[in-house]
Each structure stands twice: as structure tokens, then as C-alpha cells.
A and B are shown apart, each in its own frame.
Chain A
Amino acid sequence: MTTAPSTPVRRLNTSKAMAEAIAQEMRANPEVIYLGEDVGSYGGIFSSTVGLLDEFGPTRIIDTPISETAFIGLGIGAAVEGMRPIVELMFADFMGVCLDQIYNHMAKIHFESGGHVKVPMVLTTGVGGGYSDGAQHSQCLWGTFGHLPGMKVVVPSNPADAKGLMTAAIRDDGPVVYMYHKGVMGLAWMAKNQRSIGPVPEGEYLVPIGTAAVAHEGADVTVVTLGLSVHHALDVAEKLAGEGIGVEVIDLRSVVPLDRETIVASVAKTGRLVVVDEDYLSYGLSGEVIASVVEADPGLLTAAPRRLAMPDIPIPYAHVLEYAALPRPERIEALVREVLA
């Protein structure tokens, strides 16, 4: 369900919408701080914090050393003491150097304390490829975060959701991993994407964590996806609508919790399911979505479910290879047609 904006809207790109939510929450609550590499005068490598240093100063918008274990852990400790830190891991690909703090500490303290200790923290991180940044800087990895228990995982695909999910994440009393695909941020130096700029409500705006959106309605086939692939799926849905094919696009917005109800309701309507995931194919989100539908009611499907994901290879550098591996619009379209055939 798309939450209808109730306040005035203007058009912003995704990174500005994200920074606006952070600024609003920082104004309202002095315990909200943002820390990470190059988040100060640089404004974040993916423009996640542009303008925030000017308004909030270096004690609340904090450049850290390149020491992810230490500064993510610091965020955890500050959150345990009741602050509301937002900590940026520049690229999700860097989780390897600091994963222990993330999955054994940030994500487990609440459980281990029997619910007595809260960790109200947001871990933001850039994900995704498509610009030849190679195998160590292009991964999505939301399946990994989603697999490890104890953290919510959100993935906005558009400016309004970026704002609404950030507000919700900051206010959440537990750890939320907020993963923004570089390709939806509306960055001046990446391929221009028409959907990375869109209407954003001006005032307080929340998108509840755990609710998927029906980004495009259709009666013939359900495409479940997230992040940049939503943009591709919408392009395909609009194209096929011209041929009288109804593609329903579900934008998950949240990997954990997963809105299984919305997925199942859509498949109940269309009978056909395609899952598109820029993360690795095996043991990941695409399998989870299909399992959720089959577990709910195997009779819903009138055709075998299909998935299009990053094949189980590291992401190649050369443009021709990367594009051969990524879930590009042409391949989404081909798979949708196959499922309908």
C-alpha cells in the first residue's frame, strides 16, 4: 500500500529527501547524531549528508577515521546509552571488516538482554552496481543482512520512501539497516534516472517499516523487487501496459520485516510471480519471496515462479560483463513474457 502524502510536496532527488529526514529528526531530537567516513565537509560520497555539517556542526555530523569496527561499535554503545546514532558504512561491501559489531552486537544485544537493552541505531550504507566499480564496490548484500537476525533492513527505491523510511528508522527503538542503492540517489555523476527525482512531502513523513508498496497495478503477473530494480520493473510494466499486459510491481521497501501479505495478495490476483533481485541468486531474497508464496498457498500459482538475480559470481568490472549479469530491464521483460507464455 502506498502511503498517501498528507503534507505539501515538492520534487527532490533521493539523496536530498534522505538528508531532509535526517535534518528534521536532528532538529527535533538532540540525541540524533550522524557519523561515518566523509560525511562532514564532503557531504557523504553518495550525497547522503549534503548540507548537514553546516547546520549541525562537527559534534553531530562527525567524520570518523577509517575504523569501521570502532565507529560502528561506538554507535552501538551510544545507542545503548539512549542516543540515536546514525552510522554510515560507506559501501555495504565493507561490512566484512566490521561485521562482528553489526551482527553479534548491534543485532543481538536486545535479544540477549531479554529485551532489557535497546539499541536505537540506524546503519546506513550504499549498495548496488551498474557503473563498473568492480567486485568489491558493487554488491547489494541485503540478503546477508536480512539473513542475520535482529536487525530490520529497509531499501528505499524513490525519494518519498527515502524520507519516510529514514524517519521511521531513526524513531525505531531497535537497529535498522538502511540500504540506499546508488543508482536511485539522483547523483549528478551517475546515469540519470528519471525516477530518482520525485514528489516528497515537506513536513514530518513516515513510511512504516515492513510495508511493501504496490508501485504499479496489473492483473497478469506480479513482479516483486526492490531498489534500482523497481525502476527497471516499472519501465517494463509501463511498456507492457501498452500491449495490454498487466504487470503488478511490488516494491518491497523492507527486507526485514518482509511484507508477505502484500506479496501473497498480489499473486492471488495474478497467479504468476517473477522476483527480481540485484543481490546474489542463491540462498537469498528471491528464494525467500517464492517460499513465502508457496508456503502460504501453493495453489495460488498458475505458472512456475521465476527469478532474475545476480548469478552466483562476483560482480565483474568490464561493462559488457557487468551488464550481462545484472537484472537489466530487457531481461526482466523477457522473463515476464516467458512466465505469461
Chain B
Amino acid sequence: MTDPSTEPARVPDAVRLDLYSTMVLARTYELAIQREYHADKGPGFDIGKGLVPGEMHLAAGQEPVAAGVCAHLMVDDAVTATHRPHHFAIAHGVDLNRMTAEIFGRETGLGRGRGGHMHLFDPSTHFSCSGIIAEGYPPALGQAYAFKTRGTGNVAVAVTGEGAANQGAFHESLNLAALWKLPVLFVVEDNAWGISVPRSASTAVSSNAVRAAAYGIPGVRVEDNDVDAVYAAAGEAIARARAGQGPTLLEVATLRMLGHFEGDAQGYRPELAEVASHDPIPAYARRLQDAGILDEDAIARIATSAAARVEAAITFAKESPLPDPADVLKYAFAEEA
């Protein structure tokens, strides 16, 4: 196990600006979805009500993981994300309009309104996610197997939370990928909480990166939610995978800024008051300003452009038609062309 965060990562300026913009776009998106989600749940809070019904898991605070990893990906590389998928979808370039339309349950959505926010599938970017914990790991093996067999040089990135790393599918997948030297990057987002259960009460080791040793593959932990460090560590791992050297396990200590789902009062969370002060995005902006790569104007420009894209996507979603109830029985089986 190595710890790349001990040495400052060298990331080109242009890349750092991209990383920052990606994080801002993802954050802007999460906050806009949060706004839309809560807009019409009342009186009180009825989870089934509103333009965006159902459970909603937002990833505010975890943007460095998605931005740092996906910066190395091509559109033909695969990502299997979790129940908290938006930041990875955005960082991997999933179409914002169609993703938003899906979250709003519209016919123009990625899944024609059938899937919803935990079940986003975009074949054009090889993106998918799963509401069942750790169950995105095994399919990533198959995508990697297809890439390897066809010799495309593509990789599959599989994401879980640290809570999910205690699931059987996680360990089975690590073993199989290691055994067959599949081009996979296993990513663990350690936000220290599995709903209300702290990592200390769920996981026997303090770092999931050490678990890689059990399967004879490299394990890397990035300690501080630092996008430059994630970028550097992911870069190395993805290069290894593309070069046919097999999988890597990358864990990032990150931050769940919001509740597990929207509506979660987080009464179980003692450090709640400090959470906002650990926000990785303003911290990164300051660092880029200190390095002279970003100024107030650029910060404002990036924010405005993110807001414009996000609001356009929400407008697209709201103006899109709802699915026709008469089509309810469709898509259970492969449709005739």
C-alpha cells in the first residue's frame, strides 16, 4: 500500500482547471436537484410527492473522487457507480439533459422514466449504477473482460462506498479481477458513514486499501479528499490497467456533506456542525488561486457556466413529456427493432 498524499501531486494547470470545473458542475447539479427535490414534498415531507419523488442520495463533498478518477477516462471506458451516482455520471460525461429527465421520470430520460436516480444507464458512455450495495462491482468485471478480449485498451471503473466494501460481491470481484488481470479500477469512496453506521462500527480495518493485499493487487489510499492526489493515484492505476497489468484498489477518504438521503436528519452524526468547513471545493479554489491558476473572474465564470448548464437540464426535464401509462408493460423483454 502506498500513500500518494504524502508527496504533493504534480498535476498540469489545465488539468487542475478542468478538475475544478468538473467539481463545480457536479456540486451545482447536486444543489439544484436538492432544491427541486424539496420544492414540493410538503406539507411536511412526503417522499413520494413532487416532480422528483422517491429516495434521493446526493454526493456533495465527494466530487474530488469522481473528478480525479474520470479525468483519465475516455468515453469508451466504463463506469459502474453506486446509489449515489450523479457526480460520477457528470464527471464521466453522461448527458446532463437526459440524466435529469430520468430523475424527473420523463420519457426523454436515460431510462424513459423507468429507472430513476439510482438506476441510470447510458450505453453511449458505458455508464451504469445500482441501488443494491456493491453490486456494481461484478458487472464491471464483465465490461473489463470484453475490453480485454477485444484488445481495446479500455478500462472499467467500479465504485462503492466504504460500507459496501464489507459485502461479498466486493471481495469476490477483487479476487476474480486479480486472477484474470482484468483492466479494472476499483474505487472506494470512504465518506466514513454507511447511512448511520460509522466506519469504525462496520469495518475491521482502518483502510480498505490494505484489503488489496489479500488479492495480490496494489491498494492505494488517498487520505484527504484531495482531487490532485486522487488524479495522480487514479492515473497510475488506470495506466497499469490499460497496460494489461490488472486491477488496482483505490480508496479515497472523502466527505458526505449531506444526509444519507434527502430527508435524513442525521441525528446519529456527532461531527455534523464541522462538515461545511471541510468542503473540498472552496479549499481547492483557494489552492488554485494561491498557485495563480484561478482568479475571482474565472471562479465566477465557471460558476455561471455550470449554473446555466444545470438550469438548462432542469428546464429540459420539466418540459419533457411524462411517459404514457399505456406503455407500462414495455421493456421487460428485448423489444423488436
Contacts and interface: CB of A to CB of B under 8 A. Distances in A.
Interface of A: 37-38, 40-42, 45, 63-69, 93-94, 96-97, 130-137, 188-192, 311-314, 316-321, 323-325
Contacts of B166: 65-67
Nearest to A324: B325
A94 B118 CA distance: 14
Interface stretch (B40-48, B210-218, B306-314): B40-48
A130 B115 CA distance: 15
B118 A131 contact: no
11 contacts: A40-B197, A41-B267, A42-B268, A64-B202, A65-B194, A66-B167, A97-B133, A131-B54, A134-B131, A188-B44, A317-B54
A135 B111 CA distance: 12
Most interface-central of A40, A135, A318, A324 (chain B CB within 10 A): A318
Contact of B46 (A94, A189, A312): A189
Given A65-B202, A318-B106, 13 more contacts: A38-B195, A66-B194, A67-B168, A132-B54, A134-B117, A134-B131, A135-B119, A136-B132, A191-B48, A316-B114, A321-B105, A321-B328, A323-B325
Contacts of B55: 133, 137
Contacts of B133: 66, 94, 97
A319 B328 CA distance: 11
B64 interface: no
Nearest to A137: B131
A40 B327 CA distance: 42
Contact of A318 (B268, B322, B332): B322
A132 B53 contact: yes
Contacts of A323: 325
Contact of B328 (A38, A97, A132, A325): A325
A311 B329 contact: yes
A190 B263 CA distance: 11
Interface of B is mostly: loop
B132 A132 contact: no
Contacts of B267: 41
A339 B325 CA distance: 24
Interface in B183-217: 194-197, 201-203
A246 B42 CA distance: 37
Interface in B93-122: 105-106, 111, 113-119
Given A134-B115, A137-B55, A42 B132 contact: no
